[in-house]
Amino acid sequence: MQRSSKNDYEGEPKIAMPTEQCRIVIEGVSPSVDNGRYAAKTVAGDEIQIGADIFKDGHEKLRAAVLFRPVKRTLPVSTTYCRETPSLSGSVWRESPLTEDVNDRWLGSITCGVCGDWVFTICAWTDVFASWRDELRKKAEANADVSSELLEGANIIEQTLRGIRTPSADASGIAAYAEKIGGNGDRAERIAAALDERLAVLMARHDPRADATLFPLELPLWADRAAARFGSWYEIFVRSQGTDPKAITTFREAEKRLPYISSLGFDVLYLTPIHPIGLAFRRGPNNTDMAGPNDPGSCWAIGGSAGGHTAIHPELGTLADFDHYLIAAKRLGIELALDFAVQCSPDHPWVKEHPDWFKHRPDGSIKYAENPPKKYKDIYPIDFDTKDRDGLYKELLNVALFWILRGVKIFRVDNPHTKPCGFWEWFIFTIHEEHPDVLFLAEAFTRPKRMARLAKIGFTQSYTYFTWRNSRSELESYARELFCTDVHYYLRPNFFANTPDILHAFLQEGGRPAFITRLVLAATMSPTFGIYNGFELCENRPLNSGSEEYLDSEKYQIKVWDWDRPGNIRDAVARINAVRKENPALQFPDNLTILESTCPHIVAFAKIHPEKNNHILVIVNLDPHNTHEGTVGVPESLAGNVNYSAYTVKDLLSDEQYLWHGYWNYVRLDPQSKPAHVLRIEG
């Protein structure tokens, strides 16, 4: 090998030196979802907490602020978000201060004023005046010679003064201080002037921020309307809201049930599919293979001779009847949510008009849905690998826009995890461009990372595993994951206590106490929860042992309900919904604290809204068969502004009051009479 010549090693090393010396470090910025790939969620009008780690070499004092603004985003064909990231120059930014907490962590908050896309970043700079002022104070207290420091301070003040281009009272005030501090007056008076708090305020207001450093990313936020954060959902089959087991209930007839739903305190009414149902391979009662001539079939087998996803089942009424129903619900403070199911019956118009939107077998027949050993011959899944992807996407978008223009602003999306994430990202983004107030609930009963991904790409809320979390350890662990970690930045849980598909063994075996237990847990742990009608009647008959399917399920037949059935918990449902609306602590997701409990069958947690002085303690017996007792620990920091040695708590479910003392307090919960406490600390 040939050796390099000596000259190759002579002279200064050829190392590229930085053109600017960046001495302020900004890192650990929150909220940030996947380093800014996805938007953290907030609600227009709510404060969102901002944090960052900010520090600098040496001992100089820093100041910092969060800069934020609404933006217009773009979505390339690849469905990868690309957000505008121009420099600060020429951009209109709003600013909110950050304050130092501990260990170089800086905290603050911002409020996004309207629904839509926002971005924020962090700016930090050396507070030259505050650093000088701190040094002056220390030397003055040590009785050191500060004549040089006073002249230095006068120079700092004059530099700031030169940056104020418009004459003002502030400029005059600063000039007066500069003259006094830099003059030859009394030492004590000059020091007093330098340390005057009024001067500190003026200097902070006009700080030139000479070494201002920006965090290199603009992190995205998405602001929803308040219904995204807080709501009580009630699920029904419109066709089963009447009294005749042989006749489908029409929208006009179903309106009679709306006052009942309103009286229970629900503000979102989720309607299972209301479209025409196919005749081919129609399912019979209890999901049997063959339907009789009068069996209505599964409403998720969408489409027939009367139309598809933009049509109303003829026996339910007309579009005008639907509009009338929507308006009637709205007058009662109830918002409708429609089911958005991307699938078709063999009779759907799309099957003939767009056969290429479906997968075919080698023999040319269309593949129906299967979940072996189950076969769903009445449903054709959509093929998202179709060559006509543009046509398919546009048609599905038009379906949603059709209902949005009729006044529907909430969609419960059926099985979104079985469709491409890229489609949903494009779909939700495109709708939000013109309709940022539309909300999407993902029926994401799927693996955790898929559930998280759907939340990140735009779904407003998500179903969860709450139904299957029944022990104390399961509930505490899951609550911490959802509400006490960064997960709450992007995933909003909707705790449904039951669904038409899910009748958990806890409800099957626990009777009425089990229903109250799950009601209280769902409604207080999560600011958004829901029940499927029949829950308030304690409907708990399974199709067979070990099954989570209901016997005589509404999914396959018309069902007549006795809404006054003995043993119902209607009063408890109405009461818990009223409690939720009256107590802001129960309307937010990220304020939950698990409390100590000496009994393994009793779970306890607190939800606090300090600004409203609203302190709620929830204590639940998880055993629906036996009475349990023990003590629950309430830290003083969670008790609010009360006499911690003796304070009153009021049970919002029973109106009973108890006198509590300090940290540990005794509770006894009988599942038959009092399975839970929802306590408010009164004082």
Residues with active-site annotation: 414, 443
**132 touches 59 (CB < 8 A):** no
Phi and psi dihedrals of 79, rounded to 5?
Answer: 55, 35
Distance between CA 225 and CA 439 in Å, rounded?
Answer: 9
Provide the β-strand partners of residue 108: 50
CB neighbour list of residue 627: distance below 8 Å, 6 or more residues apart: 621, 668, 669, 670, 671
Of 680, 682, 631, residue with least CA distance to 653: 680
Structural tokens at position 41: 């969620």
Distance between CA 7 and CA 357 in Å, rounded?
Answer: 70
The DSSP output letter for 462 is E
3-state secondary structure of 160: helix
Pairing of strands 231-236, 374-376: unpaired
Provide the β-strand partners of residue 105: 53
**173 touches 197 (CB < 8 A):** no
Provide the β-strand partners of residue 407: none
CB neighbour list of residue 450: distance below 8 Å, 6 or more residues apart: 417, 444
Note the helical H segments in 233-296: 251-254, 258-263
Distance between CA 203 and CA 369 in Å, rounded?
Answer: 69
Distance between CA 129 and CA 184 in Å, rounded?
Answer: 21
A 10 A CB-CB count for 195 gives 16
* Sign of torsion over alpha carbons 223, 225, 227, 230: positive
Distance between CA 468 and CA 506 in Å, rounded?
Answer: 9
CB neighbour list of residue 432: distance below 8 Å, 6 or more residues apart: 116, 438, 458
CB neighbour list of residue 145: distance below 8 Å, 6 or more residues apart: 139
Report how far apart, in Å, the C-alpha atoms of 410 and of each of 423, 424, 479, 495 are.
18, 15, 25, 17
**120 touches 219 (CB < 8 A):** yes
Amino acid at 517: T
Distance between CA 240 and CA 256 in Å, rounded?
Answer: 12
Phi and psi dihedrals of 62, rounded to 5?
Answer: -115, 160
CB neighbour list of residue 36: distance below 8 Å, 6 or more residues apart: 217, 218, 219, 220
Distance between CA 315 and CA 277 in Å, rounded?
Answer: 10
**Degrees to nearest 5, angle at CA 366 with 363 and 369:** 125
Find tokens 């007792």 and name the residue: 629
3-state secondary structure 30-45: ECCECCCCECEEEECC
Going along 4-160, which residue ranges are E strands? Answer: 24-30, 40-43, 47-56, 62-70, 94-100, 105-111, 116-126
Pairing of strands 231-236, 268-271: parallel
Amino acid at 238: V
User: Exposed, middle or buried: residue 115 (CB in 10 Å: 0-12, 13-18, 19+)?
Assistant: buried
- CB burial string 228-252: b at 16+ within 10 A, e below: bbbbbbbbbbbbbbbeeeeebbbbe
